Structure 1
């Protein structure tokens, strides 16, 4: 069965997942997490990309990155992040070899319908994995910074977040309530399926729009009901 091609669409946010080689741990000590985030901050600025959400799990990374007009920017970002982390850990542990799977996964996101749901999905990963009881308890995701519990001056704020309410405090509260909903959203399965297969996070209308933009046929599917933080 042919491998689904990775699609990058300028002007849209993208959900990205990079897994450790054979799903082995990539982040073990605090230094590992801190080094990756320092490089993410550096290279997102070099390539003029916006990062809306992130979560560093022990054996994989989730990012939500807005693609600019340079379609090579995200591939270069991921290459730099993977390469630096590999050299860093190999030098510390006096080892050699690959740290990551060969190919990261990426899914363009229908901004209005699914961006906040995708950020929620990313930031709830540690909760779903049973590592913490709440998203704010996990140090290595963007959630605590988004709701003002920790500083992260380089985390970007999407328009859909700003549209939640008239002032920042109300936006934070609206987003907090959205993330803390007890049940899975109907969009969660669509997000999971899309990133696992390098497809689009959106319904048929979004698929049609992207097909026209990039001139590549993308397999359609039944749209899930989008979840909104509004």
Structure 2
């Protein structure tokens, strides 16, 4: 599969998982560490709209705000730094992530909205974890009044405000819960 080149001023779904679906976040400290590195490596290169970190994969929605080559190298540096730290911590060698980070350009607002929902509901979908209180997702940060590097206002505008943002997430979550009951 040929990887799509990143372009400045465009939105992307960036995601990857552990090699062979293996764990990449062994603890909550690992998730916190990844988020701290995310800020260090990507600040002033991308705008982050949403994220979710789960034990064996992650999702990000970003807007590229620098030269594409700089953004691509920054992502590579982030993932390499994280992989080296985990390999050292876990006394392992070799690749942590699947070969290359995946990226899909988000070409319209509806797709962007649906992807934000999908990413925020990932804890429920994969692990039956309450998405509203899941600490390693951007959902609680978007609803918080605490300072954040997230593009909180941009996301809330996509959903016509905070109340509708919550409502749409809760409705989509009910659909997922209903599906679980039917299976």
TM-score by length of structure 1 reads 0.69
Residue in structure 2 matching 1:79, options 67, 76, 79: 76
Q: Which residue in 2 is equivalent to 1:144?
A: 140
Q: Which residue in 2 is equivalent to 1:63?
A: 60
1:1-230 superposed matches below 5 A: 3-45=1-43, 47-132=44-129, 134-148=130-144, 151=146, 153-157=148-152, 159=154, 161-162=156-157, 164-165=159-160, 171-181=161-171, 182-183=174-175
Q: Which residue in 2 is equivalent to 1:219?
A: none
Q: Which runs of 5+ in 2 are unaligned?
A: 177-183
TM-score by length of structure 2 reads 0.85
How many residues get paired?
174
- Larger Rg over CA atoms: 1
Asked if structure 2 preserves the Cα contact closer than 8 Å seen for 1:54 and 1:61, the reply is yes
Structure 1 residues 11-44: Cα deviation after superposition (integer angstroms, max 9, x where no partner) = 2210011111111001011221111000011112
Q: Secondary structure at 1:82's aligned position in 2?
A: helix
Greater strand fraction, Structure 1 or Structure 2 = 2
